Every structure is written in C-alpha cells, then in structure tokens.
Chains A and B, each alone.
Chain A
C-alpha cells in the first residue's frame, strides 16, 4: 500500500520552474531515495510532501489524504505522522540533547509524566546507538555524526509513520556516512517506518534504497529498484551514476 503518492507535481518560484511534473509512489515500510545534483529540486519536493509548500499543479496524498485540502491546525496535526532529519540536524541549540529529543513528545502530550518522557527518550537514543550519558550535553558539544543521530532520535521519538531525511550524509566522513546509512536501515528494520531520503550521495543512496528516483532539472529521469536505475539508458542518469560507479 502506498503511503505517499505524488502526482504530476509542478512548482515554480517566479520565473524559475523548479518541479516539472513529478510523479512517484512510496510503499509502506520501504526506503525511497530521491537522488539528484544540487538545484535539481529535491528539497522543494520534500517540502511539498510535508506540506511546507503548496504545488502550482498536481498534488501529494499521504495515507490517502490530499495535503492541499488541509490548512492551519489540521495541517499541523497531520504533520505528526512525519519525523524529519534535516541536513544540518537542526537541533534546537538552546536546548540539551534530552530537551531536544523530548520536544515532540512534550508538544504532543503536555501532561506526559517525567518517567515516561525519560524512558521514551532513552529508548529512541538506543535505536540510534547513543547512551544516557549524552542527555545533558548541548548540541554544540556533539560531533557531526552524533548530531545526525540525535536528530533521528528526535524524529523517531513520537513514533512517526514516515521519516524524511534531507541530505543525511552531506559533509560527513566515510565512516560516519556508513554509520548514518546503518542508522537509516536500523530505523526501518526495528521500527518498520517508511523512509524517504533526499540525497546526492550515490553510494549511500544505492546502499539504503529499496527504490530510488534520479531527479534532473525538475523531472524524474529514472526510477525503480537500485538495479533497474543502474541499467537506465537515460544520458543524464548514466553520466550522473558514472561519477561514482566509474570509480568502482
């Protein structure tokens, strides 16, 4: 069953046509990667899926609900089915690790007990291989990889159905990139979440994806399983993928 359906999505900012008829479908419990170079429209697509932007044409349905029919509080409440990991982690720098991870839970249920709050925060930190010793640290005291992990723990803590990752491996060293890839797989295997990853990291994309799409100039140049995309005859896709696979 498709959790996310994007149908013929068009979006322009002024004269700049960013998305040109994107259509894709993400099945429950799978990891879907949207691969593309900078400026290809990946982040704009992601913002449509979470309802931060409205399409000029076409639409996005999540669990059968057309996002364009929601606004204000309804849209806000609907977003609770998503967890999102941002490119720069986007941890609240005026809050400790504990306060960051606990934030979605506190906002969802302001009467939640301290014991339950702590237990759930610690449980989600364990999913991303972090221990209680970092609860009192500030985001500025964490390494890049740890920030990404805490960000994923925060995205997972309220048990979302869908986790969105915006460039999760950008700027990370190979070892940390590998651990972030494992973290994405872990979240899928252990919690059964549906994941959508926006990335330009070809190696990482082919490692975590069940299905992937290559975005070029606002349209999908190829999509399918990693094996299918690898066999694509589209000239852009071949050139883009050869940057990585050519080195192998």
Chain B
C-alpha cells in the first residue's frame, strides 16, 4: 500500500515537473545555443545507431513479409507492407527505444550527477532556474529531433527492405515500389511523426525528472537512470497503443 502511494506521488511529481518545464519554455531568456547543442547530441549523435537499427528492421520485415505473403502469391505487396509497418509503427517505437537507451540515459546521468555534486544547487544560488537551464533545452531538442530520427529510421529501413526484398528474396522491383506508392499515404506518415514527437517530449521529461530528483551519490544516479529507461520504455509502448487507438478506433 505504501509502495503504491509512493508510486502515485512519484507520478504526480513527474507531471508537475513536466508542467514546470513547459511553463519555463515560454519564459525568457531563450537559450537557443543550448537547444542547438542538445539537438546535436540527441539528433546528430543518435543518427548512426538509428540508421543501423532502421536498416536491419526494414531488412527483417522484408524477409518476414516475403515468407508470409509468398504462400498466396502476394510477394509484390512486401514493399507496401514494409513501408506501412515502418512509417506507422516500427520507426517511432524502435527509434524511441534505441534513443532512450542512448540519449535518455545520458540526459538522466548528466543531470543526476549535477544534482548529487551540488552543481544544480550552485546554479540556483546564481539566480538561474535549473529547470529552465537544463530541462527546457533537452525537452525541446528531443521533441524536435525525434520526428527527424523517425524519418531517418523509415528511410534507411525502407532501403534495407528494398535491398533484401529485391536482391535476396528476388521480388521484382516494379511491384515492390508500385505497391508502396499505393499503400502508404500522407496520413500514415503524419501518424508516425506524431508518435515520435510525443515520445520525444515524454522520454526527455522522464529522463530530466529522474536526474533532477536523484539523491544518494553515484548509486542514486545509477538507480535513477535505470528507472528512467524502464519508465520510458513502458511509456513508449503504452502511448503507442493510445495514439494508435485514437487514430484507428476499434
């Protein structure tokens, strides 16, 4: 019972931290240089790992799609299947899970270390709000860069699917591309980008909050980081369902 109450309190504090971050976003001073630095760390810094995972996700989708569809002679639809699966579902979810492991944990560790070594207290005594200085640039950067990373994941994933589908599974390139054009529309793309945007905001708020509330030295920072990654992973899958349900209905 006590654990459940603590979990609710913790969730409430997370929500308040998120609201505080959004409020501070609107207030000057605006630190564009910090946002750009974080966009580079979260976006450019994650692009290689996102591209690699995207390539293999697309490649395996092509293999599985070919295996499932060849029994009823629908190999030509593999291109469309790969593209729809990537754009609507796999890109935002896989990319977010990968970037949580890389950047979410880095954000949490950095802010957590600053907390336990009194750097955040020091910032406050210098009349600088730590939420505005530390959380706002990271949340803005992740919210802006996640859709871009999802597009990268989709593009490289489709390339992987095309190469495996056409050159390994011997699907003719014409139908592969043609059915992609037929099956994917702008709504699918926007659906995936919206998910990525929401994941970026939520994951970065969780990572910043866990770092900000860290205590108890390096062990506390480690525990905070673990909790940030676990909580983010669960949040990604739950929000994925909610957004898909709201879009598709029953």
A90-B117, A110-B29 known; A84+B127 contact, CB < 8 A:
no
Q: In chain A between 81 and 97, which residues have their CB closer than 8 angstroms to a CB of chain B?
A: 82-84, 86-88, 90-94
Are B118 and A90 interface neighbours, CB within 8 A? yes
Inter-chain contact B125/A84, CB cutoff 8 Å: yes
| B127 A79 Cβ-Cβ under 8 A | yes
**Residues of chain A whose beta carbon lies under 8 Å from any beta carbon of chain B:** 50, 52, 76-77, 79-80, 82-84, 86-88, 90-94, 103-104, 107-108, 110, 158, 164
The chain B residue sitting closest to A105, CB to CB, is B126
Contacts of B118 in A (CB 8 A): 86-88, 90
B126: chain A residues within 8 A (beta carbon): 79-80, 103-104, 107, 158
> In the complex the two chains form, is A76's CB within 8 Å of B122's CB?
no
Docked Cα-Cα span, A106 to B166, in Å, equals 57
How many residues from B make CB contacts under 8 Å with A?
16
Contact pick for A93, options B119, B128, B129, CB 8 Å: B119
Contact status A50-B125, CB under 8 Å: yes
Q: Which residues of A contact B117 (CB under 8 A)?
A: 88, 90, 93
Contact residues in B for A86 (Cβ distance below 8 Å): 118, 121-122
Nearest-CB distance from A238 to chain B (Å)? 33
Contact with A along B185-225 (1 / 0, CB 8 A): 00000000000000000000000000000000000000000
CB contacts under 8 Å to A, within B100-142, are 110, 113-114, 117-119, 121-129
With CB as the reference atom, state the residue of chain B lying closest to A81: B127
Determine whether the beta carbon of A76 is less than 8 Å from that of B119: no
Chain A residues with CB under 8 A of B123: 92
CB neighbours of A91 from chain B (8 A): 119
Contacts of A93 in B (CB 8 A): 113, 117, 119
